[in-house]
Structure 1
Amino acid sequence: MVLGRQQTDASVQDPRGPQWTGSRRVDWCPPLVLNLAMALQHVLVQCSLLVLTVGMLQCRLQWTVAQRGQHLASLLFSSALATLLHTCTGSCLPLMQAPSLEMLVPALVLLSAKTGNEEDCRGQYSETERCDAQGSAERELQGMVVVAGLLQVCVGVCGLGGVCLRRCGPLVLAPLLCVLGLSIYREAALLCSDHWGFAALAVFLMVILSQHLRSVSFSALPDFVQFPFYSMLSVLLPVLIVWGVCVLLEFSGHLQLHTLSDLLPDPGVQNETAPRLLNDTHTHTVLSSGPSLKHSGTLPWISLPHTGVWRPLLSGRATAAGVAAALGSCCSSMAVYCLSSRFLGAPQPPAHACNRGLLSEGLATLTSALLGSTLGVVSSTANVCTLELSQCGSRRTVQLAAILGLLLGLSPRLTVLLSSIPLVIYGAILCVTYAVATATGVTYFQYGHMDSGRNIFNIGFTTFMALVLPRWFRLQPDVLSIGQSSANVFLLSVLTSPMLLIFLMAFLLENSVSGSLAERGLTRVEGKRGETVLVLSDGRQNHDERDATYEPPYVVRRLLAMPT
Structure 2
Amino acid sequence: MADAKQPGGTEAPDHSLIYGIDDEPPLPQTFALGFQHYLTMFGSTVAIPLLLAPKLGITDKHDLAALIGTMFFVSGITTLLQSTFGNRLPIIQGGTFSILAPTMAICGMTALADAGWQVRMQHVQGAIIAGGLFEAFMGYSGLVGRLLRFIGPVTIAPTIALIGLALFKFGAPVAGTHWGIGGLTIALIILFSQYLKRTHRAFELFPILLAIVIAWGVAALLTATGTFEPGHPAHVSTATLAASPWFRVPYPLQWGMPVFGAAAIVGMISGYLASMIESIGDYYACARLAGAPTPTHHTINRGIGMEGVGSMIAGIFGTGNATTSYSENIGAIGLTRVGSRRVVQAGALIMLVLGAVGKFGALFTTIPQPIVGGMYCAMFGMIASVGLSNLQFVDLNSARNLFVIGFAFFMGLSVPEYFAASPLTFEPKWLADICNTLGSTGMAVGALVATVLDNTIPGTRTERGLDAWETHEHFTDLPAGGEN
Q: TM-score band (shorter)? A: 0.7 to 0.9
CA distance in structure 2 between the partners assigned to 1:323 and 1:375 by the alignment: 16
Give 1:506 shift. 1.9
Matched residues in 2 for 1:84 and 1:519: separation?
A: 41
- Contact 2:98–2:163 (Cα < 8 Å) also in 1: no
Q: How many angstroms does 1:452 deviate by?
A: 1.1
Is it true that 1:245 corresponds to 2:245 in the alignment? no
Q: Which of 312, 322, 328 lines up with 2:265 in the alignment?
A: 322
- Equivalent in 188, 191, 196 of residue 213 of structure 1: 196
CA contact (8 A) 1:116 1:137 kept: no
Contact 1:142 / 1:310 at 8 angstroms: preserved in 2? no
Which residue is 1:52 aligned to? 51
How much does 1:42 deviate? 1.6
| 2:140 corresponds to 1:195 | no
- Which letter maps to 2:257? P
CA contact 2:49–2:64 (8 Å) conserved in 1: no
Decide which moves more: 69-78 or 45-54.
69-78
Match of 2:449 in 1: 505
Match of 1:80 in 2: 76
Q: Distance in 2 between matches of 1:249 and 1:390?
A: 38
2:386 to 421, 425, 440: 440
> Given residue 78 of structure 1, which amino acid in structure 2 is its aligned partner?
V
Per the alignment, do residues 168 and 322 of structure 1 end up closer, same or farther by CA in structure 2, a change over 3 Å counting? closer
Compared CA separation, residues 514 and 401, structure 1 to 2 (3 A): same
Give deviations 1:490-528, integer Å, cap 9, x for gaps. Answer: 22221222332222222222221111233122447xxxx
Assess if the C-alpha contact under 8 Å between 2:283 and 2:295 holds in 1: no
Q: Which amino acid aligns with 1:324?
A: G
Give the structure 2 partner of residue 266 of structure 1.
none
Distance 1:46 1:23, change over 3 A: farther
In the alignment, the residues of structure 1 paired with residue 302 and residue 173 of structure 2 have an alpha-carbon distance, to the nearest angstrom, of 35
Aligned pair partner of 2:278 in 335, 347, 363: 335
TM-score, normalised on structure 1? 0.68
- Residue number among 371, 394, 407 corresponding to 2:353 in the alignment: 407
| Alignment match, 2:313 | 367
Helix, strand or coil at the partner of 1:377: coil
**CA positional deviation for 1:387:** 5.8
Which residues in structure 2 correspond to 1:408-423 (within 5 Å)?
A: 408-423=354-369
* 1:182 counterpart = 2:194: no
Q: What is the alpha-carbon distance in structure 2 between the residues aligned to residue 67 and residue 515 of structure 1?
A: 52
Distance, in Å, in 1 between the alignment partners of 2:409 and 2:124 is 30
Whole-angstrom CA distance in 2 between matches of 1:435 and 1:340: 24
The 8 Å contact of residues 96 and 379 in structure 1, kept in 2 or not, is answered as yes
Q: Deviations over 1:329-368 (max 9, x none)?
A: 2323423543675699789976544433332232123223
Secondary structure in structure 2 of the residue aligned to 1:480? coil
- Please list, as runs of the form range in 1=range in 2, the aligned pairs for 1:210-359 lying within 5 A after superposition: 210-217=193-200, 228-255=201-228, 292-306=237-251, 309=254, 311-312=256-257, 314=259, 318-338=261-281, 351-359=297-305
Q: Is the alpha carbon distance of 1:353 and 1:513 closer, same or farther for their aligned partners in structure 2, counting shifts above 3 Å?
A: farther
**Structure 2 residue 90 is matched with structure 1 residue 146:** no
Distance 2:362 2:116 in 1: 27
Q: Runs of 5+ in structure 2 lacking a partner?
A: 1-5, 9-13, 474-484
* In 1: Cα distance, 2:286 partner to 2:186 partner: 21
- 1:67: which partner in 2? 63
- Percent of aligned positions that are identical: 23
CA distance in 2, matches of 1:157, 1:213: 43
Retained in 2: the 8 A contact 1:24–1:392? no
Q: Could you tell me how far apart the structure 2 residues matched to 1:488 and 1:444 are?
A: 34
Q: Deviations over 1:369-413 (max 9, x none)?
A: 433x16241327xx5357669964856675554333211221222
**1:482 to 2:426 alignment:** yes
Give the distance between the partners of 1:24 and 1:168, measured in 2 at CA: 36
Structure 1, unmatched stretches of 5+, are 7-17, 118-131, 218-227, 264-289, 525-534, 544-564
CA RMSD, 1 decimal: 4.1
User: How far did 1:241 drift?
Assistant: 1.5
8 A Cα contact 2:30 2:342, kept in partner = no
Q: Which moved more, 1:290-299 or 1:203-212?
A: 290-299
Q: Report the residue type matching 1:216 in the other structure.
A: T
**1:248, distance to aligned residue in structure 2 (A):** 0.2
Contact 2:31–2:343 (8 Å) recurs in 1: no
Whether the 8 Å contact between 2:57 and 2:116 is mirrored in structure 1 is no
TM-superposed CA distance for 1:328, in Å, is 1.9
Residue deviations 1:468-494 (CA, integer Å, cap 9, x gap): 222332x32x43112333223322221
348-357 or 415-424, larger mean C-alpha shift: 348-357
Distance 2:298 2:230 in 1: 47
* Alpha-carbon distance in 1 for matches of 2:327, 2:376: 12
Structure with max Cα Rg: 1
Q: Which residue of 1 aligns with 2:377?
A: 431
Q: CA deviation at 1:216?
A: 2.3
State how far apart, in whole Å, the 2-side matches of 1:44 and 1:139 are. 26
Asked if 2 retains the 8 angstrom alpha-carbon contact of 1:57 and 1:108, the reply is: no
| Secondary structure of 2:257's aligned partner | coil
Partner of 2:3: none
Cα pair distance change 1:401/1:424, threshold 3 Å: farther
Deviations 1:139-179 (A, max 9, x none): 44443343333233222233332222243333233333332
- Look up the match of 1:550: none
- Contact 1:72–1:412 (8 Å) recurs in 2: no
**Judging changes above 3 Å, is the alpha-carbon distance between structure 1 residues 136 and 36 closer, same or farther for their aligned structure 2 residues?**
closer
Alpha-carbon distance in structure 2 between the residues aligned to 1:441 and 1:93: 25
Alignment equivalent of 2:462, drawn from 497, 515, 518: 518
The offset of 1:107, in angstroms, is: 5.7
Amino acid at match of 1:408: L
8 Å CA contact retained: 2:37, 2:329: no
The aligned counterpart of 1:468 is 414
* 2:437 equivalent to 1:493: yes
Shift of 1:73: 2.3
User: Contact between 1:301 and 1:411, CA under 8 Å: does it hold in 2?
Assistant: yes
Deviates more, 1:464-473 or 1:88-97: 88-97
Once residues 226 and 426 of structure 2 are traced to their aligned partners in structure 1, the CA distance between those partners, rounded to angstroms, is 53
Q: 1:165 to 1:350 in 2, by over 3 A?
A: farther
